[in-house]
Amino acid sequence: MTTPSDAPDWRSMSQQELDLGLNNSVAVAGSGDLVNGWEQRSAELRKRHPDHIDLRYGPRERNRIDFLKARDKAPTLLFIHGGYWQMRAKEAFTMFAEGAMAHGINVALIGYTLAPEATLEAIVAEIHQGIGYLAGQLPVLGADTGGIVVSGWSAGGHLTAMALSHPKVKAGIAISGIFDLEPIRHSYLNVKLKLDGPMSRRHSPMAQPGGPMKPLALVVGAAELPLLRKQTADFAGHRAKYGLPVAYEEIPGANHFTIMNEMQSPNGRITTMIRELFAQTA
C-alpha cells in the first residue's frame, strides 16, 4: 500500500502537468476506439437481457437502472460508470456484467445526472437514491435480498466509496478510482464540476476520519497515470490507518481502460475479487 515511487505531488505540478496527469484519454492511445467497442458489445448484451432495462429510480432523465438477471435468488452487483462525473453513460458498460453473470451473480448498472447539470453532491445523492430503489425491487426481480455489493470504475470508483455508507450496501470494489478531490478541483475537470473547497472535502473519502466498517477492495492498473495509482494506494493506506477492511491490488500491465478486461472476463482478476467479496459477506 505504499505510494508509487513515480507519483509526483500534484501541488508542485504546473497547470499543464496536472491537467495531463489526470487525462486518461490522452494517456491511452486509441481509448476512443476502445470505448466505441464497449458500446457495441454492450448493446448486444442488453438485447439478450431486455426484461429489466431502464428501471426508473428518480425524476431526472438519467435516473435509470438496467438489471441483468443471472438466475433466481442470485446476489446482486451494482456497477457505477466513470467519465469524471461529466461524461459517458451506463449503456457503454453493460458488457462488463459478463464476468460476474458467468458465476451466477446478477448485475445492475446505474445511470446518474452528469455535471454541470448536477453538482457532485447531487450525483452522490442520486446514487444513494438508486441503491434504495434497487434494494426495494430485489424481491420483485426474484433476487437475493441480503445486501448489494457496489462496484465502479474511475469516477464510479469514487461513487463506490461514497455508496458504502448506504445501509443496503454490504461491500464495494473501486476500480481506478478518485478518492481525494483536491487535485480534481484545481484541474481542467473543475470547469464543469464547479467544486469549491468545502464540497471537495465533504465528498473526498480521503478527507474523512474513518469510514464505513465494510469490506472495500481497491484495484488499479500498474500502467495507469501515476496520479491515479497514487489515489488508490493512498486510500488503501487511509483505510488501513483507521482499521477499516481493505484489500489493495495493482493489475500488471493494465492501463485505465484495459483494466476493465479483468471485470469482463469470467476468469479475470476483478471478477475473482467480486466473487471473494460476496463470499466474505454471505
Structure confidence at residue 2 (pLDDT): 56
Structure confidence at residue 67 (pLDDT): 98
What are the domain boundaries of the chain? 10-280
Please give the full DSSP string across the chain, using - where no structure is assigned. Answer: -PPPTTPPPGGGS-HHHHHHHT-HHHHSTTHHHHHHHHHHHHHHHHHHS-TT-SEE-SSSTT-EEEEE--STT--EEEEE--STTTS--GGGSGGGGHHHHTTT-EEEEE--PPTTTS-HHHHHHHHHHHHHHHHHHHHHHT---S-EEEEEETHHHHHHHHHTTSTTEEEEEEES-----HHHHTSTTHHHH---HHHHHHT-GGGSSS--SS-EEEEEETTS-HHHHHHHHHHHHHHHHTT--EEEEEETT--TTGGGHHHHSTTSHHHHHHHHHHHHT-
Structure confidence at residue 171 (pLDDT): 98
**Quick one: average pLDDT of 229-241?**
97
pLDDT band at 8 (very low <50, low <70, confident <90, very high): confident
Structure confidence at residue 7 (pLDDT): 74
Give me the chain's average pLDDT, please: 96
Class of the CATH-defined domain 10-280: alpha beta
Query: What is this structure's pTM?
Result: 0.96
Structure confidence at residue 84 (pLDDT): 98
